[in-house]
Amino acid sequence: MADLWPDAEVGEMVGDGVVYSFEAEGAITKGKCVYLSSDMKVSQCAASSNAIGVALKTVAAGEFCPVCVCGVVKVTAGGAITRGVAVQTDANGNVVALADQAVNEGGTGTYTIYYARRLGFSLQTFASGDTGLILIEK
C-alpha cells in the first residue's frame, strides 16, 4: 500500500473547503465516506450509497461528525483509480472509480450520466489500498 500524500493523515483536509457537522446514526471511522441516512444525520457508506462527503473524525452513534462536503481530502482507495476520474464510495466507505453510465434518450443520442453517486474526482492515480487525495465536489 502506497501513501501518495504523506503530508496528511487519512481523513484530513488539504487546504480550505466546506465542512458541516452532522449527528452520526452509527459508528463512523475518520476518512470513510458518509451518506445522509436521515434528515441531518449521517452513516458510514455501504454499497450503492450516495455519499455526501468524508468523515473528518471517528465518532460513535449520537456524536456529531465533521464532514468535508467540498474540498481536498485524503482517503483510501477500494480499487484502482486513474487520476482525473469521477469517484464514488464502495461497500466499505472507501473510494472507487465511478463507471460511466451510457443512456440513450429516445434515439436522440447517447449521453454519459454520473447520477448522485459521484462524490468528486481523483487527484492521483491509486492502486487498491493506496491512500491519496480526492477533490470532493458534489
CATH number for 104: 2.40.300.10
* Domain limits for position 32: 13-137
Contact 8, 14 (CB under 8 A): yes
d(CA 39, CA 109): 37
pLDDT at 117 over 80: yes
CA atoms within 13 A on the CB side of 36: 9
- pLDDT at residue 4, as a whole number: 87
Please give the tally of structural domains in the chain.
1
Half-sphere CA count of 12, side-chain side, radius 13 A: 10
Confidence of residue 8 (pLDDT cuts 50, 70, 90): very high
Is pLDDT at 79 greater than 60 in this prediction? yes
Whether residue 126 is contained in a domain is answered as: yes
- Domain membership flag for residue 8: no
Cα separation, 119 vs 86, in Å, equals 7
Q: Please, what's the b/e burial string for 91-128 (b: 16 or more CB within 10 A of its CB; e: otherwise)?
A: eebbbbbbeeeeeeeeeeeeeeeeeebbbbbbbbebee
The predicted pLDDT at position 114 comes to 57
Q: Is residue 2 part of a domain?
A: no
pLDDT tens-digit series, residues 24-72: 999 999 999 999 999 999 999 987 789 999 999 999 999 999 999 999 9
- For residue 33, is it within any domain? yes
